[in-house]
């Protein structure tokens, strides 16, 4: 029996091995694995971190082919955005356009072009984020953390994240402060009208 590959991304941006399947694929700009399909030390190859459809134009890939980009998998779009990935401009063209439009409405600096967006998003990845927020103040699709647990904010409720899906949190966000997981720029994009895909268990 083969072991699961280390290619599943958590909301914290970590890449782990699990048998659970994601609903979305993505990459971090290049090859992160060796010929034995094991991750090397580095966790990104360029600042172009994207998420993609699982299927597109009937294309087929052998996951973690040596020398090819490393396919990563996410529970859903909210997870991918918490892990600092944006929509692919090719296979998710409509979502990419919507992301650009929300970027413009949010008054984030730079033009809403891929290079400009990726430059700012990558700069935010490089900063150790310790911002605390009230979940009630966040838009749908944003994520917060309490210790090592991640929570989705959706319709004023909190849902605890897992590789298999979400479960209703035992407590509401209320006025308590939680650590913000989703990067500030992504939060502004969500607040400016971008609607992320959320796993059915988070509704």
Question: Between 46 and 176, where is the model more confident?
Answer: 46
Taking the CA atoms of 161, 155, 130 and 70 in sequence, report the sign of the dihedral they define: positive
Taking the CA atoms of 3, 61, 24 and 112 in sequence, report the sign of the dihedral they define: positive
Q: How confident is the model at residue 164 (pLDDT cuts 50, 70, 90)?
A: very high
User: Percentages helix, strand, coil for the chain, rounded to the nearest 5?
Assistant: 25, 20, 55
pTM tops 0.85: yes
Give the mean model confidence (pLDDT) for residues 27-48. 95
Taking the CA atoms of 85, 90, 95 and 97 in sequence, report the sign of the dihedral they define: positive
| Residue 133 token pair | 């927020």
Q: Can you state the angle between helices 184-191 and 93-106, rounded to 10 degrees? A: 100
| Residue 158 token pair | 């909190």
The confidence score (pLDDT) of residue 176 equals 84
Q: What is the pLDDT of residues 110-132, one digit of tens each?
A: 889 999 999 999 999 988 778 99
């Amino acid at each position: 029996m083969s072991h699961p590959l280390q290619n599943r991304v958590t909301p914290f941006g970590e890449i782990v091995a699990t048998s659970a399947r994601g609903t979305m694929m993505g990459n971090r700009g290049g090859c992160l694995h060796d010929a034995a399909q094991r991750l090397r030390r580095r966790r990104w190859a360029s600042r172009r971190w994207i998420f993609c459809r699982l299927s597109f134009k009937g294309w087929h890939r052998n996951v973690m082919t040596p020398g090819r980009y490393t396919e990563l998998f996410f529970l859903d779009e909210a997870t991918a955005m918490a892990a600092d990935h944006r929509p692919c401009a090719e296979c998710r063209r409509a979502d990419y356009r919507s992301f650009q439009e929300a970027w413009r409405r949010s008054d984030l600096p730079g033009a809403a072009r891929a290079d400009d967006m990726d430059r700012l998003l990558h700069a935010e990845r490089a900063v150790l984020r310790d911002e605390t927020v009230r979940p009630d103040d966040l838009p749908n699709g944003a994520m917060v953390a309490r210790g090592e647990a991640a929570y989705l904010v959706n319709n004023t409720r909190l849902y605890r994240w897992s590789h298999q899906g979400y479960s209703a949190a035992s407590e509401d966000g209320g006025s308590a402060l939680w650590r913000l997981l989703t990067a500030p720029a992504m939060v502004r994009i969500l607040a400016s009208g971008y609607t992320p895909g959320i796993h059915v268990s988070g509704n």
